[in-house]
Amino acid sequence: MDTKNSGQPKDKHFLIAVDESESSKRAVLYVADIVGGFPGFALTLLSIIPEPEEDFFDSEEEQTAWTREKLEAANRLLENYRQVLIQAGFTPEKVRIRSCVGEEKSFAEAILDTRCDLSCCTVVVGRHHKSKTEEFLFGSTSTKLIREAKNCAVWVIE
Amino acid sequence: MALGDIGYTESDLRGMVRKWVSADRVPKRVQVKDTSDFFRVDYDDVVMLGGVPYFVRNNEREGRFGLEDEPKFWVKRAIDLLTGETKVLKWVFREHFEARIGSLVFECVRSPQKEARILELVRGRKDFMQGTTERDSAGHPLRILDYIRGRTLSQITPMLGSDHEDFFYNHFPIVLDEYIGIVEAIRFLHQLGEKHGDIRRDHLIKDETTGRYRWIDYDFNYRHGESRFAYDLFGLGNILVFITGRGDVTTNRTLADSPGILDRLSSDDVNIVFHNRVANLKKVYPYIPESLNRVLMHFSAGAQVYYETTEELLEDLGEAREELERR
C-alpha cells in the first residue's frame, strides 16, 4: 500500500485489471482521463494469465514455456499501460504493475484476492461485449466482480 | 513382436481364444501386435498390456445427432484372454481443436491423461465408467475400460410411456431421481476440480448389471473462461430439458404437431444455445410443475441468471422433486 509520511492521508489505491482486449484499453484510458494528474491516487495494473491446464500441453516443458511466454507478453502490456498512465500525470512510483497465473481461481476471484492483498478501494475493468450465449457458456468476469466484490467499488468501463 | 517375448506361444493364445469365443470365430493364426500404433492393430490380433493378452475385436463407433456412426479407430473392443471379460481399449489419440457453437469458438483438447486421472478418482463408483491405465510400448497411457452393457439415456427416455402425459405422470419422477444422481456424480468431479468436458445424453449408459447410469468418456477438456464448469452445466441442462420433454421438443416438431402452441412461444422460450429446441416446456405441456419449469428456464434464451455450480442446480432440483411428490 502506498502511503505518505505519517499524518498524511493515504492514497486512494485503484486496481485496474487488464488483458489484451480493447475494453481493457478503454478502462485504462478512462482512469487516465478521470483521475490522471490528481494527487492522492496510486494505481496497480494487474494482468492474470489463464490457468495453463496440463491437459492442453504435451509436456511440462511446453506448459512452462507457454506460461513464461504469456507472462512476458502480459508484462509488456502492463508496462505500456503504465507509460500511458504516467503520461496522464501519475508519478512513476504511483503506478505499479503485477502479473500472475490464475491457477484454479476464476479471473474475478483472482482480481478480488489481489484487491484484498493490496487494500485497493476500487477495482476497474473493461466490459467485454459478450453475447448472451457466450456469457452463459463461459461466464463474465465483470458480472461476477459486481456480484462478489465486498468493501470496494467496482468500475466497469463500457 | 516375437511370441517368446510375451510368455505365451501362439498355441497358448489360440487355446485361450477358443475358451472365450465360438469355434468359428477362432482365427487360424494369432498375431501379437505392438501397441504403439492403433492403426496397425486389427480384428483378431492380440495385444499385451500389463502382462495380460487382449484379443482385439471391432473398433468402437460413436453416433451423434442422427449422423451415421463414426468408427473410432483408436477405441477397440477386446476380450481379456485371462478372464474372458469384454474390455474397451482406448489408445492415445490427442486432438487439439476449436469447437464451435454457433458463432462461438473455443479451444478443446482430447487428453488421455485427463481420462486416466479421472479413472483413478472415480474408482469403485457405480456412476462412472471404470477402468485402468497401462502404458503402451511407446510409453503412452492406454486406457483399459470395463465394457458397460446397456443403453444410453437418449435411447431409453423417448421409449418410456405411451405419450408425454403418461410418461410424465408415471415415469418422470423416477427419471428425475436418476437425473439427480447423474448431477451428483458430476458434482463429485467438480468438487475435485475436474470437468467432465463432454456432457451429453449418449455419454450416459444405464448399466444392466446395476440399473444405474454411468458417465462415460472423460477425455475432453475445454478452455474455460470465468466460469470453470459452465459448459458442463450447459450439458446437464440440455439433458434435463431432453428428459422432461421425453426427447427434444423442437420448434419444427411443435409446428407440425401443435401449431397453436408454437404461436404462444416467444424468442425467450427456446434453448439459449440451440434456438430450434424449446426450453419453456410448460407452454407445451402445461402439467409440468412451475418449480421444474423454473429450472428449465435457466437454460432458455430468456434466462437472466445462470447456474454456475452443480450445487445450485441440485438445490432447485430438490425443490422440483418435492413439488412433483406433492401432486
Q: Which domains does chain B have, with CATH numbers?
A: 3-91 (2.30.30), 150-326 (1.10.510.10)
Q: What is the mean pLDDT of chain B?
A: 93
Q: 3-state class of B133 per DSSP? A: strand
Which three cell numbers, joined as nine digits, stand for B162?
A: 405411451
Mutation for B interface: A112, A134, A137, A142, most B CBs within 10 A: A137
| pLDDT per residue as tens digits for the range A106-139 | 999 999 999 999 999 999 999 998 888 999 999 9
pLDDT at position B63, please?
55
* pLDDT of the residue at A3: 45
Long-range pairs, A81-89, Cβ under 8 A, ≥24: A81/A16, A81/A18, A81/A25, A81/A28, A81/A45, A82/A45, A84/A28, A84/A29, A84/A32, A85/A28, A85/A31, A85/A32, A85/A36, A85/A43, A85/A45, A87/A32, A88/A32, A88/A33, A88/A36, A88/A37, A89/A32, A89/A36, A89/A37, A89/A38
CB pairs under 8 A between A and B: 67
By Cβ distance, the residue of B106, B111, B303 closest to A55 is: B111
A89/B102: higher pLDDT? A89
DSSP B138-196: TS-EEEEEEPPPEEEHHHHGGGSSSSHHHHHHHTHHHHHHHHHHHHHHHHHHHHTT---
Question: Chain B 124-143, CB below 8 Å of chain A: which residues?
Answer: none
Residues 189-208, chain B: which have Cβ within 8 Å of A?
A: 193
B20 falls in which pLDDT band (50, 70, 90)? very high
Q: H or E element: which one contains B64? A: none
Q: Closest Cα of chain A to B220: distance in Å?
A: 9
Q: How far is A109 from chain B (nearest CA, A)?
A: 9
Compute φ and ψ for B115, nearest 5 degrees: -65, -40
Contact B104 A106 (CB under 8 A): no
Residues 121-150 of chain A whose Cβ lies under 8 A from any Cβ of chain B: 131-141, 144
Whole-structure pTM value? 0.90
pLDDT digit string, tens, across residues A3-44: 445 567 789 999 999 999 999 999 999 999 999 989 999 999
Test B114 with A133 for CB contact under 8 angstroms.
Answer: no
Q: What pLDDT digit, counting tens, does each position of B136-185 carry?
A: 888 999 999 999 999 999 999 999 999 999 999 999 999 999 999 999 99
pLDDT of residue B245: 97
More confident residue, B65 or B45: B45
Single out the residue of B139, B88, B143 nearest to residue B110, CA to CA.
B143
SS3 annotation, chain A: CCCCCCCCCCCEEEEEECCCCHHHHHHHHHHHHHHCCCCCEEEEEEEEECCCCHHHCCCHHHHHHHHHHHHHHHHHHHHHHHHHHHHCCCCHHHEEEEEEECCCCCHHHHHHHHHHHHCCCEEEEECCCCCHHHHHHHCCHHHHHHHHCCCCEEEEEC
- Go through the domains of chain A in sequence order and give each one's CATH number: 12-157 (3.40.50.620)
Question: Is the Cβ pair A107, B228 closer than 8 Å?
Answer: no
* Edge-to-edge strands, sheet with B213-215: B150-152, B204-207, B213-215
Chain A residue closest in CA terms to B220: A55
Residues of chain B contacting A49 with CB distance shorter than 8 Å? none
B228 interfaces chain A, CB cutoff of 8 Å = yes
**How large is the ipTM?**
0.84
pLDDT in tens, B250-286: 999 888 888 888 889 999 999 999 999 999 999 999 9
Give the pLDDT confidence of B73-131 residue by residue, as tens digits: 899 999 999 999 999 999 999 889 998 887 788 899 999 999 999 999 999 999 999 99
Alpha-carbon gap, residue B225 to B207, rounded angstroms: 34
Which among B221, B227, B308 has the least Cβ separation from residue A55? B221
User: Are the Cβ atoms of A137 and B226 closer than 8 angstroms?
Assistant: no
Q: State whether residue B114 is helix, strand or coil.
A: helix
